[in-house]
A = this chain, B = another copy of it.
Amino acid sequence: MRAFLLAHGLLLVLGSSAFGQSWTPPTPAQRCPSKWGAADERGAANHVMPASVLRAAQLIRTGEIIELGRVLTATMPLFGTRIFDLTTKRTNGPLGANKRYSNEEIVITELGQVGTQLDMLSHQGIDGLFYNCVPIDSVATRTGFQKFGVEKLGTLFARGVLIDVAAFKGVDMLSAGYEITASDLQGAMAKQTLSLSPGDAVLIHTGWGRLWNTDAARYSGPAPGIGVGAATWLASQDVLLIGSDTSSVEVSPNPDKSLDSPVHQIALVVNGIFLLENLKLDDLAGKRLHEFALIVEPLKIRGGTGSTVAPIAVH
């Protein structure tokens, strides 16, 4: 709880509009145990309860589904050395008098971390420690993590909110390296007459997704996204997850050159808040659909650090 208070305190001191601010990870004493308890492995997913699911379901008024997942291919943008390799295993047949043919495929990929994907708590650490200060070494095995595996998560079904920062800034696409601030988020929400509640799923539209199919190299390079200030503010709003139409949600590179993807730590390690990356948000933004039921069904990969997903917005 101290960590949570500290995060608030930090916010108050620095203000929510700070740009490129530095950040020092809270100490174990400051951030552990987490607000969900010392033994918790699900972080903000604890927000997903029948009452909140029911509230989200009541946002379904037309039955229209908007698909937010990207098509998975070998040539999609992939971070670093990740791969998505699919080999068809075709035509086992004809079998039986009914001349059955059967096809399948072998797929090789960083299944938790490619395409549209959700980051689980075992994805990130601070100085050798996970969320709730569990030492990475103590739970790592060759075949997954004994704690914080994505199979612990379950479906995320929540009120979803689209914050269209690109529209707020009057551009099709924010520029590479643009840091979205807490003021940007607050301004866009005011324009959209939206407010946040604990347990909401926040999706941030930057427009960067238009590069997905046209320029994989640029897509995977420096990109716009939230910085330390915005992440800290969103954490203070007690959200379920933060998603975006970029590969890491956060501004890349961070304006403070000494920091390496600090938003991943603020979200996953300090606050147990999930990141949802590489979303396809153009339809949602084009329809100006800002409030909806968000449904994300992570694969139950035992010990996995995340999951490729195909989430939907329904309204």
Contact = CB atoms under 8 A, between A and B. Distances in A.
Interface of A: 23-25, 48-55, 57, 60-65, 67, 69-74, 81-83, 85-113, 115, 122-128, 136, 140-145, 151, 154-155, 157, 258-262, 264-265, 293, 295-306, 308-312, 314
B126 A92 contact: no
A72 B143 contact: no
Contact of A262 (B73, B98, B123, B300): B98
A115 B301 CA distance: 10
A86 B304 CA distance: 9
A157 to B, nearest CB: 6
Contacts of A54: 60-63
A127 B99 contact: yes
Contact of A300 (B69, B104, B260): B69
Contact of A297 (B115, B127, B297): B297
A155 B69 CA distance: 10
B142 A92 contact: yes
A95 B260 contact: yes
Contacts of A64: 50, 53
Nearest to A109: B107
B71 A63 contact: no
Contacts of A262: 96, 98, 100
Contacts of A304: 86, 105, 107
A100 B69 contact: no
A85 B114 CA distance: 16
B63 A260 contact: no
A112 B111 CA distance: 13
Most buried by B among A23, A49, A126: A126
A98 B126 contact: yes
Contacts of A25: 98-99
A167 to B, nearest CB: 25
A298 B310 contact: yes
Nearest to A293: B57
Contacts of A142: 87-90, 92
13 contacts: A24-B97, A48-B65, A50-B62, A53-B64, A57-B60, A81-B85, A83-B83, A98-B259, A99-B128, A103-B136, A103-B140, A107-B111, A295-B297
Nearest to A82: B104
A107 B23 CA distance: 34
B96 A260 contact: yes
A297 B311 contact: yes
B90 A259 contact: no
Nearest to A62: B50
